[in-house]
Amino acid sequence: MKAKGRVFRYNNNVDTDVIIPARYLNTSDPKELAAHCMEDIDPDFVKNVKPGDIIVADRNFGCGSSREHAPIAIKASGVSCVIASTFARIFYRNAINIGLPILECEQAVKGIEAGDEVEVDFDTGIIRNLTKGTTFKARPFPEFMKKIMAADGLVNYIRTKNAGDGSPS
């Protein structure tokens, strides 16, 4: 699995309230959520984001509420991957569970600027900054997470497992 796109760059502590403000949480429709993604921190994000683009941020990305709407909004806006120095843990879980690829790699974050063209290989954890000609190595996903990702999220993963015995145990 690979991702390739242009980078949107953010700083520390991007919280779930700016990723998708609570005033839009009266819906869980991915398209409607995507229409307001990052609105309170980067009003131009929605206008400029293209399928495949990549978000790169410093520490503690996704801190705050447990709203799964946050990774859903990011995924539905077309973002193919989020790279950060660290992620807040609930965001981390949620992203994996809904099948939004995320990678922690501090060196890569330091070596990537807004607008850079970046390519990510999820199997190896290799991150290439095509604009600057630099390469970084993140820790690849453990096996069980790769399976969840390959199934495009935990739901499909469980459904495939369920298919065997008919009902969830």
Partner 1 sequence: MGMTMTQKILAAHAGLDRVEAGQLIEANLDLVLGNDITSPVAIREFEKMGANKVFHRSKVALVPDHFTPNKDIKAAEQCKCVREFAKKMEVENYFEVGEMGIEHCLLPEKGLVVPGDLVIGADSHTCTYGALGAFSTGVGSTDMAAGMATGKCWFKVPSAIKFVLKGKPQGWVSGKDIILHIIGMIGVDGALYKSMEFVGDGIQHISMDGRFTMANMAIEAGAKNGIFIVDEKTIEYVLNHSSKSWTVYEPDADAEYDEVYEIDLSKIRPTVAFPHLPDNTRTIDEVGDVEIDQVVIGSCTNGRMEDLRVAAKILKGRKVKKGVRVIVFPGTQKIYLDALKEGIIEQLIEAGAVVSTPTCGPCLGGHMGILAKGERAVATTNRNFVGRMGHTESEVYLASPAVAAASAVTGKITDPDTLLKAD
Least distance in angstroms from the C-beta of 91 to partner 1 = 8
- Is 46 a binding residue for partner 1 by CB under 8 A? The answer is no
Least distance in angstroms from the C-beta of 90 to partner 1 = 5
- List 15, 117, 119, 121, residue binding partner 1 (CB under 8 A): 15
Least distance in angstroms from the C-beta of 54 to partner 1 = 22
Residues 6+ apart with CB under 8 A from 63: 13, 14, 15, 16, 88, 91
Burial class (CB in 10 A: 0-12, 13-18, 19+), 121: middle
Least distance in angstroms from the C-beta of 132 to partner 1 = 27
C-beta closer to partner 1: residue 13 or 131 = 13
Give the Cα separation of 167 and 22 in Å (integer). 35
Residue that the structure tokens 């919280």 belong to = 15
C-beta closer to partner 1: residue 118 or 157 = 157
Least distance in angstroms from the C-beta of 105 to partner 1 = 16
- List 40, 44, 113, 123, residue binding partner 1 (CB under 8 A): 40
Q: Which two tokens stand for residue 98?
A: 């809904």
- List 20, 74, 76, 90, residue binding partner 1 (CB under 8 A): 90
Instruction: Give the number of other Cβ atoms within 10 Å of residue 123's Cβ.
Output: 10
Give phi and psi for 104, each to the nearest 5: -100, 120
Q: Which two tokens stand for residue 140?
A: 């690849």
CA distances in angstroms from 140 to 10, 87, 117, 122, 146, listed in the order given: 23, 15, 20, 6, 9
Site for partner 1 in 16-35 (CB under 8 A): 17-18, 21-23, 25-28
Site residues (vs partner 1, CB under 8 A): 13, 15, 17-18, 21-23, 25-28, 40-41, 59-60, 63-69, 71-72, 86, 88-90, 93-94, 97-98, 142, 144, 153-156, 158-159, 162-163, 167-169
